[in-house]
Amino acid sequence: MQNEFSIVVDRSKYQYAPTPWEQESWRVSALDWVAEQLASHGLRASGELSVRLRPWSVLVRVPVVGRDAVWFKANPPASAFEGPLTAALARWVPTYVLQPLAVDAERAWILLPDGGDLFRTVLSREPVGPRTWEELLRQYASMQRALTPHVREIEQLKVPATRTLDLPGAFDGLLTRSTALHPEARARLERLRPRLTDWCAELASLGVEDTLDHADLHEGQLFHPAPGRFTFFDWGDAAVSHPFCSLRIPAGKARARYGPQVLARLLDAYLEPWTGPGRAPADLRRAAHLAWRLSALGRAASWGRTFPGASGTSVAAEQISESLLELLNEPPF
């Protein structure tokens, strides 16, 4: 396939970040695999390949004769679980995710169908009110709760597990790796450690079990192909942790768009699927408050999932430090 079609490469600001795309043998193997998997579905590539290279993934848009394009993704070793996880989610919660066309777990490759319009595209094209964000959060929370019985299976797929009570240990490891921190900021974080331990213990006591946390649920990580319908994808940053840690990013994006007054209704929408016997609304709100702050640990951890190499390590160190500093900020509700 490499010699059949023109290829356009986008590196964005990561001009020198290493990826396997630079290796010709890897490129040939990857594109040959894509062609083989398409053929197994009776499909054939056609047209220019668009390649997006980032420290954390190689993504190739492959036009296909007679149908929407497909997407090839290659993950670094630390997020090699994404393909098997995506395939498992398609079995457990098919309403909410994409069904992969092919997965090569050993090489951390996945081939996905097009999911329709990104939510980001819809937002740029037409007026979208807070009610739409409420519905996406309601659906996402429903998916998380449906996945709770599968947590052990998710961990067996090598999805990183940072259970709520294990977060203080994760904090210690991340603080050690955050070489970009100013000494004064490091000292402030070190002083925060006892309080963080208390927050984790309280959060674990509030009756919501750990399950899958997407950890980066912004408007570019979900499709909105039709009114009332959302499809969640791009699971390379995911972890098994407290589910409410997922709330911070989408709610923060909506707050930036509509103002702080939107947070109360978004919180109600997200918490609705979690209500039930033995779960007091006040406890759920308190859990959301605690998880909002602690979610910074999941974001920091995900920045370690880059392709090996010096420049990728530099990017990770800076982002880990930036994420850890968010622990110092009070939640907005």
The CATH homologous superfamily for domain 119-328 is Aminoglycoside phosphotransferase (APH), C-terminal lobe (3.90.1200.10)
Q: Are 285 and 146 in contact (CB under 8 A)?
A: no
Phi-psi region of 17 (alpha: psi -120 to 50; beta: other; left: phi over 0): beta
Q: Which two tokens stand for residue 309?
A: 């190499």
Same-fold call for 7-113 versus 119-328: no
pLDDT confidence of residue 310: 43
> In which residue are the tokens 């579905």 written?
41
Task: Give helix 248-258 / helix 130-147 axis angle, nearest 10°.
Answer: 180
What single-letter DSSP state applies at residue 215?
S
pLDDT confidence of residue 312: 47
Phi-psi region of 215 (alpha: psi -120 to 50; beta: other; left: phi over 0): left
> In which residue are the tokens 């429903």 written?
142
> In which residue are the tokens 């210690």 written?
172
pLDDT confidence of residue 313: 56
Spatial CB neighbours of 249, under 8 Å, sequence gap ≥ 6: 216, 217, 218, 295, 299
Q: Are 70 and 111 in contact (CB under 8 A)?
A: yes
Residues of the chain with pLDDT under 50: 310, 312
Nearest-angstrom CA–CA distance, 41 and 101: 8
The residue extents of the domains of the chain are 7-113, 119-328
Spatial CB neighbours of 6, under 8 Å, sequence gap ≥ 6: 48, 49
pLDDT confidence of residue 315: 65
SS3 (DSSP) at 106: coil
**How many alpha carbons fall within 13 Å on the CB side of residue 255?**
15
Nearest-angstrom CA–CA distance, 221 and 214: 10
Nearest-angstrom CA–CA distance, 247 and 282: 17
Q: In what order do the strands lie in the sheet with 57-64?
A: 7-10, 49-54, 57-64, 67-74, 109-113, 102-104
DSSP-assigned beta bridge partners for residue 45: 64
Q: Are 162 and 240 in contact (CB under 8 A)?
A: yes
Task: Give helix 281-302 / helix 183-204 axis angle, nearest 10°.
Answer: 140
CATH topology of domain 7-113: Phosphorylase Kinase; domain 1 (3.30.200)
pLDDT confidence of residue 317: 80
Task: Give helix 263-271 / helix 248-258 axis angle, nearest 10°.
Answer: 150
Nearest-angstrom CA–CA distance, 30 and 56: 17
Spatial CB neighbours of 211, under 8 Å, sequence gap ≥ 6: 144, 145, 147, 148, 151, 240, 243
Quote the strand ranges of 221-308, DSSP E. Answer: 222-226, 229-232, 239-241
